[in-house]
Amino acid sequence: MTTARLQRTRPFRPHGQLGGRTPLNGTFKRRATIVGFLAPALVILAAFVGWPMISALRLSFTDASGFGTPTFVGLDNYTRIFTDPEILHSMGNTAYYAVMFTPVSIAVALMLALAINSPRLPFRSFFRSTLFLPFIISLAVAAFAWSYLLDPQIGLLNYWLAAVGIHLGNVLQDPVLAMPTVVLVAVWKNFGFYMVIFLAGLQEIPTSLYEAAQLDGANGWRRFTNVTFPMLSNTMAFVVVVALIAALQAFDQIYVLTGGGPYRSTETIVMQIYQSGFKDLDLGFASALSYVLLIVTLLLSLVQFLFFGRRGEANNS
């Protein structure tokens, strides 16, 4: 940092005096170098992240449809989001999805991470890699597999469950069971990712803490509640936020499995954005909906950022 400041205060040097190649001639050439390194990425980010953000905000105040000149409609689109029962329903669905997805995927991931972390388990790397596998499979492909397993006529899982007295029927056509089913598919795809993050967190816990707890006569459960769980709180906070954000963006497996049905019971915000924006061409409204998604995501990220920022300071001191 100090060298950088020194460079700037140096007098102008004619090009070529130092061969024109050292970083010490803070001149036009150096600026050109910096711009050259940054420009490709910044042009892409400006065109496809920065501009679309502004553009989406502008569109959200219009009745744009892709044809003709859009008219300014003020807050109409936003008013509609918070009054239209169908939209409120899909927001409710998204919340319901998040409320199921987040705790279930975290519980599954944490239990598996604890099991793998046990020194008693042989071939731990094998288990870790195998259980991570669903994370590299696309949600769409995972959805194919689950739809076949849960097929009411020929589904293996349905057949096995029926053998033990559980008759699921056609879960994807059932307005009550369709949502838990699409959540299940997402949990299955993502638990390996959260598990690996938990594993990393578990391995940062000093073993001396466990030894001390053991000396104090704490049993396995007490060691978990008094050592593991508190020491894992940062990791937990991270995973909760990441899982919530993933839940807000639920789309792929719903598109494949139910298309938002039956009776809109699996219609989520992103499904609605896709429908309004790319099927109904109601671009203004879809943009307003996008902005609501954007703001909720930003708020969640901000919570995480503040949490981790505080944690960083604590670590430094």
Partner 1 sequence: MTTFGQPKALTLSGTHTRRRGDPMRWAYFAGFLIVTLALMLPVIIIVLTAFKPASEVNAYPPTLLPHQWTLDNFAAIFSQLPFGRLLGNSFAFAGGVTIFALVFDSLAAYALARLDFRGSRVLLIVIVASLMIPFQATLIPIYQLVSQLGWVNTFAGLIAPRAADAFGIFFLRQFFVSLPRDLDNAARIDGASEWRVFRSVVLPNAVPALLTLGIFTFVNNWNDLLWPLVFTTDQNMGTVTSGLTLLTGPGGIIPQGVMMAGALVAVLPLAIMFLLVQRRFIESVASTGLK
Q: Which of 12, 120, 164, 165 binds partner 1 (CB under 8 A)?
A: 120
CB closer to partner 1 out of 156 and 212: 156
The answer to whether 277 contacts partner 1 (rule: CB under 8 A) is yes
> CB under 8 A: which stretch of 96-104, 174-182, 220-228, 279-287 binds partner 1?
279-287
Would you count residue 138 as binding partner 1 (CB under 8 A)? Answer: yes
Choices 69-77, 84-92, 222-230, 268-276; region in contact with partner 1 by CB under 8 A = 268-276
**Which of 9, 69, 83, 125 touches partner 1 by CB under 8 A?**
125
287 touches partner 1 by CB under 8 A: yes
DSSP the chain: -HHHHHHHHSPP--TTTTTTTSTT--SHHHHHHHHHHHHHHHHHHIIIIIHHHHHHHHHTTB---SSS---B-TTHHHHHHTT-HHHHHHHHHHHHHHHHHHHHHHHHHHHHHHHHH-TT-SSHHHHHHHHHHHHHS-HHHHHHHHHHHT-TTT-HHHHHHHHTT-----GGG-TTTHHHHHHHHHHHHHHHHHHHHHHHHHHTS-HHHHHHHHHTT--HHHHIIIIIHHHTHHHHHHHHHHHHHHHHT--HHHHHHTTT-STTTT--HHHHHHIIIIIS--HHHHHHHHHHHHHHHHHHHHHHHHHHHHHHHHHH-
Q: Binder to partner 1 among 104, 114, 168, 197 (CB under 8 A)?
A: 197
Q: Note whether 81 binds partner 1 by CB under 8 A.
A: no
Stretch that binds partner 1, among 92-100, 174-182, 215-223, 236-244 (CB under 8 A): 236-244
Of 15, 52, 49, 41, residue with least CA distance to 30 = 15
Peptide bond into 262 cis (omega under 30): yes
- CB burial of residue 198 (10 Å; 0-12, 13-18, 19+): buried
Binding of partner 1 at residue 201 (CB under 8 A)? yes
Out of 70, 274, 303, 307, the only residue in the binding site for partner 1 (CB under 8 A) is 274
| Binding to partner 1 in span 151-170, by CB under 8 A | 151, 153-157, 159
Closest-CA residue to 273 (of 296, 250, 299) = 250
By CB under 8 A, tell whether 78 contacts partner 1. Answer: no
Q: Return the residues of window 167-196 that contact partner 1 according to CB under 8 A.
A: 172, 188, 191, 193, 196
Minimum CB–partner distance for residue 182 and partner 1 (Å): 12
Interface with partner 1, residue 42, by CB under 8 A: yes
Q: Is 218 in the site for partner 1 (CB under 8 A)?
A: no
Tell me the window of 88-96, 99-107, 223-231, 281-289 that interacts with partner 1 (CB under 8 A): 281-289
Question: Which one of the spans 9-17, 77-85, 216-224, 277-285 is the region binding partner 1 (CB under 8 A)?
Answer: 277-285
Nearest distance, CB of residue 197 and partner 1, angstroms: 4
Q: How far is the CB of 107 from partner 1 (least distance, A)?
A: 14
Q: Which of 65, 71, 79, 203 binds partner 1 (CB under 8 A)?
A: 203
**145 forms part of the interface with partner 1 (CB under 8 A):** yes
CA dist 279 → 65, 79, 92, 270, 286 (Å): 11, 21, 22, 13, 11
User: By CB under 8 A, is residue 131 in contact with partner 1?
Assistant: yes
Can residue 71 be called a binding residue for partner 1 (CB under 8 A)? no
